[in-house]
Structure 1
Amino acid sequence: MSETVYLDHAATTPMHPEVIEIMTEAMKRNFGNASSIHQIGRESRGLVEEARRTFAESIHAKPQEIVITSGGTESDNIAILKTAEKYKDKGKHIITTVVEHPAVLKPMAYLNETGFDITYLPVNEDGEVTVEQVKEALREETILVSIMYGNNEIGSLMPIKAVGQYLKETAPEVVFHTDAVQAYGTEDIDVRDENIDLLSVSAHKINGPKGIGFLYINEDISIPRLIMGGEQENNKRAGTENIPGIAGFKKAVELRMTNKTDLRDSYSYFKKLFINKLEETDIDFSVNGSMERSLPHILSIHLKGVPSDKLLIHLDLARIAVSTGSACSAGNVDPSHVLIALYDKGHPAIEETIRVSFGLGVTEEAIIKTVEKIQDACTFLKGS
């Protein structure tokens, strides 16, 4: 049986072998509770604080500004809901975009039901918003702006630095949050330079373990404690620490930060190669969003006249894993909200788009094989 070609790294990534090794060792040796005062507990505490420093350095933050969470969804929920809880007396207006991940959109919908006014910024044909849109949407009662760093379906990059600079200069009291789950590990993120107040990250997008992530909280921002109980995470999030997960996350971050430039170049090459190989076929296609202003590992393609659900079945039978969009929407019959934001309902691209995303283990041969199988499937589906 042929080996599976995995091109769905935007959904999740395989753990790096060195991450697995570190976690296995931590399971054997670092079983102590990091809150215990004996030596075994202190060893676990030391591991947690070393990891916190690594996470902080990766985004140019301070260790005390890092709160370790269970992943991107929790980090997004905390950032949005706790900011709203803290600053609701100052105002109940929040700005976000129509193309956010459900981990942002669902808390926004909840807040809307409880009396908050949410402004959803539309995107242009490349899936981007502008600083001018934020400027026009701001009100005296605005308390939070939440804009993702890079989109998880089409890869579009948002003008985070420009928005952060504008907010700092004109509305410094407004909290600025970015969901950086897809961008972290490929983009150069500097929370100080970009004037970011809250930032969400997940380990499983960078070849780390599932169930672990972090939320950066600027030391000048005060939000209520996240989970009540013990005094873990600087008294912000109670619960006994997941030591193996934290150790694995730390290793994944170290590997990414060391190899980030090479990885970015590699993914950009794969993206261009994929397009070049498609152009050598007779497939009628177009790219959703921008090739240039986008995350290097995500490519969204409209294969014209080919239903994506049927195409995915053919590719799956050929042991090729791609997707139609966000993994968090799998099984949902509703069309992609991101593609609707680009094209409006009824556009063929909404039902004829696949997302390929690159990462650990992807090769030129895998790209070429995938395009060949797409060609075969398109030929079959158009002829049936």
Structure 2
Amino acid sequence: MIYFDNSATTKILPDVLSTYETVSQKIWGNPSSLHNFGENAWNLQEQARQQIAKLFGVKPSEIIFTSGGSEGDNWVIKGTAMAKHRFGKHIITTSVEHAAVKNALEQLKDFGFEVTYLPVDKEGRINPADVKAAIRPDTILVSIMAVNNEIGTIQPIKEVGEILKDYPNIHFMVDAVQAIGKGLDDQVFSDRVDFATFSGHKFHAPRGTGFVYVKSGRKLEPLIAGGGQERTLRNGTENTPGNVAMAKAIRLVKENEAESVKREQAIKERIYDHLSKFDHVKLISGRDQGFASHVLCFAIVGVRGETIVHAFEDKDIYISTTSACSSKKHSEAGTLAAMKVPEDIATSAVRISLGDQNTLEEADQFNKTFDELYAGFKKIIE
């Protein structure tokens, strides 16, 4: 099997799974309990928090555990709205955000908030000048993803941060779910970023784990009210085994990050260069440094995306159409629509998303299989 759908989810690493099982079986106390068994759980979780903070060069108090990216996105957006609604109800984002961001913002419209969706260019990238032009006296939040989950575009986070230095009262959130382990920490954790959201299952941790970076001094109301866990910011009994396992997954990913990114880029380029030889193939992702190393979106024009996915599946190669959160709807990818990609191309688009477990040999096998499938598809498209 060749698994090229890592942006949807990754396989939990054996060592990470072992950690999860060990903590679950041996340290099952509630971290909020006063007895020693609860204190042991609390201490272990705090060690995990400190480990994550050290790996990213931030304070342990700035790491708040969650259940994943969607919760993190919703919390920062709605928590900002709750904390700052007296000062304004205007939010700026892009037209290519993940559904967890877009749908959370659409919900806020029902409560009187206004949302400005910034346009993107032909590569799916915003113009930082558009951010500045969109800022109003009542703007309370700017939310921009670091890496697009459908085509891999890297957004100009640093440039936007420089603009927002002149507006210190505006919260700046980065959806960094697709950025971890991809050599982009200098962007995600730049000086002006206030919040960054992460999801454990994107980097070999258990599902249902995640965390949010919350810069010290930034006001954010809790999305979940409860017993005061996570400094009252994320209430609910902590997922100690999941959080500890997630910290281990991050450490393992970071150990070989530079090598993994280099290999992913080489795999991407080998497939990209091969696909570029075919008349009916439209390459949507770029291969330069403006795009992440692990995402490659392309279309066989005239063949629907789901047909391509299932054809590769029959060969034991797993790719996807767009985002896993929307691909089953058989709809045109939101990013491609925002880029004004023609409908016949958008409905044919598929995504390869690589991980640190993939190899160049798998790329060669993919290219060989593509040749076979393309020969069959020519009956449809010619």
* TM-score strictly above 0.5: yes
Partner of residue 360, structure 2: 364
The one-letter code sitting in structure 1 at the alignment partner of 2:292 is L
1:338-371, CA deviations, whole angstroms, 9 ceiling, x for partnerless residues?
A: 1111125x43220121100111432222212222
| 1:150 CA displacement | 0.6
- Counterpart of 2:367 in structure 1: which amino acid? V
Shift of 1:27: 1.6
Moved more, 222-231 or 210-219: 222-231
Deviation at 1:192, TM superposition (A): 5.6
Between stretches 263-272 and 55-64, larger displacement belongs to 55-64
Q: How does 1:174-193 map to 2 (within 5 A)?
A: 174-190=170-186, 193=190
State the partner residue of 2:126. Answer: 129
> Of the candidates 3, 7, 19, which is equivalent to residue 6 of structure 1?
3
CA deviation map 1:131-172 (0-9, x unaligned): 10101111111110000011001000011111112101x211
CA contact (8 A) 2:91 2:113 kept: yes
Shift in Å, 1:242: 1.0
Contact 1:54/1:253 (CA < 8 Å) preserved in 2? no
The answer to whether the Cα contact below 8 Å between 2:260 and 2:356 also exists between their aligned partners in 1 is no
| Letter in structure 2 aligned against 1:146 | S
Alignment equivalent of 1:374, drawn from 370, 377, 381:
370
Question: Which of 240, 244, 259 lines up with 2:237 in the alignment?
Answer: 240
One-letter amino acid matched to 1:236: L
1:270 is the counterpart of 2:270 = no
Larger displacement relative to structure 2 (306-315 or 241-250): 306-315
Distance 2:223 2:62 in 1: 14
Distance in 2 (CA, whole Å) between partners of 1:7 and 1:211 is 22
Displacement of 1:267 in angstroms is 0.7
1:149 to 1:282, Cα distance in 2 relative to 1, 3 A? closer
Query: Matches of 1:137 and 1:336 in 2, distance apart?
Result: 25
Moved more, 153-162 or 270-279: 270-279
CA contact (8 A) 2:311 2:373 kept: yes
Query: TM-score scaled by structure 2?
Result: 0.95
1:285 to 281, 286, 290: 281
Partner of 1:330: 327
User: Aligned equivalents of 2:315 and 2:41: distance in 1?
Assistant: 45
- Gapped regions of structure 1 (runs ≥ 5): none
> How big is the shift at 1:206?
0.6
Match 2:253 to one of 248, 256, 263:
256
Q: CA deviation at 1:121?
A: 0.3
State the Cα RMSD in Å.
Answer: 1.5
Distance across 2 between alignment mates of 1:17 and 1:23: 10
Partner residue of 1:71?
Answer: 68
Q: Residue 349 of structure 1 aligns to which amino acid in structure 2?
A: I
Residue 12 of structure 2 corresponds to 15
Report if aligned partners of 1:96, 1:118 keep a CA contact under 8 Å in 2. yes
Q: CA deviation at 1:223?
A: 1.5
CA distance in 1, matches of 2:57, 2:127: 25
Q: Report deviation, 1:308.
A: 1.7
Q: Tell me how far 1:328 sits from its aligned partner.
A: 0.4
- 1:50-85 deviations in Å (ceiling 9; x for gaps): 111122223322111111000000000000011011
CA–CA distance in structure 2, aligned partners of residues 101 and 339 of structure 1:
13
1:61 & 1:162 partners in 2: Cα distance? 21
Say which SS state the counterpart of residue 42 (structure 1) adopts: helix
TM-score normalised to structure 1 length: 0.95
Using the aligned pairs only, state the percent identity.
Answer: 35
Structure 1 stretches (4+) deviating beyond 4 angstroms?
A: none
Change (3 A) 1:113 1:122: same
183-192 vs 292-301, which moves further: 183-192
Deviations 1:154-197 (A, max 9, x none): 000011111112101x2111100010000122133246634101
Aligned to 1:163: 160
Match of 2:314 among 310, 314, 317: 317
Q: Which amino acid aligns with 2:46?
A: E
How far apart are 1:283 and its partner, in Å?
5.2
Aligned-partner Cα distance in 1 for 2:370–2:152: 21
Equivalences, count: 378
